[in-house]
Each structure stands twice: as C-alpha cells, then as structure tokens.
Amino acid sequence: FWDFLILFFCLPVVIFNEITKKRLLGDMSCRIVPFMEVSSLGVTTFSLCALGIDRFHAATSPQASTRPIEQCQSIIAKLAVIWVGSMTLSVPEILLWQLAQDTSPVSGVVTEYCTMKPSSNLPESIYSLVLTYQNARMWWYFGCYFCLPILFTVSCQLVTRRIRGTEKKSECRGTKHGQCESHLNCTIIALTIIYGLCTTPENVCNIVVAYMSPDMSKQTLDLLNLINQFFLFFKCSVTPVLLLCLCRPLGQAFMDCCCCCCEGCGPDSTSSEGSADSKLKTEMSSSIFFDKPRETPPPLLALGTPC
C-alpha cells in the first residue's frame, strides 16, 4: 500500500517538475515527497526485519506444524508499529527541505527546485537537531536503510538454515511444511535482493556527493538525484509484482478478486463453483507472513452452492 502511495503521489510530482521546471504544490511537495520516500524505505526495512524474525520463530518453534495462525489483531499491531516508527524517523525530512528558485543566466527563465536547507525560522533547539540530522543523514541512510535490512535478513536466513540442517533435516525433508518454509524463505531473499539493488545507487551517490560536491555542477547533482528517485519508483513497482508472483496464495487471491470484478460477480453456477473451490483452496493454503496451519482443518464447503 505504501508503494502505491509513492507511485500515486510522488511520481507525478517528479515528472511534472522535470517537464515544466515548476514544483507542483510548491513548498508542500518539497517537504512531503522526501518524507514519503524516506518513510517508504523505513517501511520496507522494518518489514523485512519483521519477516526475518517470523521465519526464525517458525524454524525454532518445537511444534511449528501445529501452531495456529496468528491473530489479526497481532498482525495489525505489528504493522502499526512499523508504519508509525517509519513515519516518526522521517519527520526531520519535513523540516529539512524547502523550495528555492533559480534564474537561468542565458534564457532568464525562473526554475523551481528543492534544496536541503533548514529554515532559519525554526526554534533554536529544533534547528540544531535538524542540522545535526542533515550532517549525519548520509551515514544514517547507509546504516539504517541499507545495512540493517540486508544484514538482518542474511543473519536470520543463516541461523534458520543451520537450525533446520542440524535438528529438523530428517523431519522436514520432502514434507509439505518443509517445502512451504523453503518457498517463504526464498520469497524474503528475493525481496531483499530487489531492495538492495534499488537502494545501492542512492547510497553510492550520497557518499560520492558528500566528498565531491564542490567539484560537481548543479546539473550533475540534479541528474543523480533524479536517478535515485526513479530507482525508488522502480522498487515500488517491482516489489508488489514480485510478491504476487512468488506468494502463490496471495497471487491467487489477487487474481480471483480481479476476475470477480471483471466478470461482475455473476451468480451463475460455474462462477459459484469456482469461487467456492478457490475459497476452499485459500482456506487450506498458507500465508506468506504467518503460514502456520490451523489446529483443526476448516469445514469443507459444498461445491456448487452459493457462497
């Protein structure tokens, strides 16, 4: 959902600015767009960490195959912590950016751009905190939003593989539960690889700009910033598609919803039978996040009857 917000709000603002050299929504977009982009990095980072912890618990649980599915309230609480924490850590971005104007010496055209400069109207204590954040922003990006999710995912996967290789190798080999666990681990690894590949250029550019910015022109800096933003947009576009393709229950549920909307949810017997069959499969399949089967099997539905 946050990836959708980035593509729906931030992408049109960036494209409009590159075409017209005017900032859509003015100073507000200069503050909101970086806030949403950094919040997106935080949501992805802490989600990957949470998924790594979940896989570790699934591997170390003595009775992983008999544990019930986690309650919806617990999942919502974890998502709330991830979202609120990501947005809280991104608040300094709102106070760091502001709108600036520049006049071309050749054509005399006034262009608008966003600059990283705290406002002098801020209180002294807040101004000093924002200035400290600006000085440490490069290494904060690199440590929290790049190294943390990658190291966390790699560590959890190594520990999980070692535990499964020493204790549950004979039990899980060839079983349906073991294949499901392996598939979920591959999904998390794929999400981490996509995230790492899309955030590497931004971190490299930040380090290069931090030490070579006096020798670089404004056009070069703007181009690097544009490239970094489009890598973020690419990540937001690929991640949901990758998740739908790799997570079979989630992808099947998404396709069922799309087919239901396209066909108008007709009450004919064929669609009724298909929907009942898909619902039965969805109930008996596993979720990507919390894949522990139910303690008791769900009641079977009579195929061909209305839902």
Q: Residue 83 has what pLDDT?
A: 92
Residue 168 pLDDT? 52
Spatial separation of the C-alpha atoms in residues 3 and 240, rounded to whole Å: 8
- List, for residues 226-238, the tens digit of each pLDDT value: 888 888 889 888 8
pTM: 0.74
pLDDT, position 82: 92
118: pLDDT confidence band, cut at 50, 70 and 90?
Answer: confident
Count the residues in the chain: 307
Domains (range + CATH), the chain = 1-60+69-165+181-260 (1.20.1070.10)
Tell me the average pLDDT across 157-168.
Answer: 71
Beta bridge partners, 99, equal 114
C-alpha–C-alpha distance, residues 183 and 189, integer Å: 10
Our measurement of the distance from residue 283's CA atom to the centroid of its chain's CA atoms, rounded to an integer in Å, reads: 26
Q: Could you tell me the pLDDT band of residue 45, with boundaries at 50, 70 and 90?
A: very high
Q: Which residue has the tokens 């070069």?
A: 220
- Fill in the DSSP letter of residue 293: P
User: Which helix (H) or strand (E) element contains residue 288?
Assistant: none
Residue 216 has phi, psi (to 5 degrees) of -110, 140
Residue that wins the pLDDT comparison between 43 and 292: 43
Tell me what the pLDDT averaged over the chain comes to: 76
Q: Is the pLDDT of residue 78 over 50?
A: yes
- List the structure tokens of 288: 């990507």
Percent of the chain beyond pLDDT 70?
73
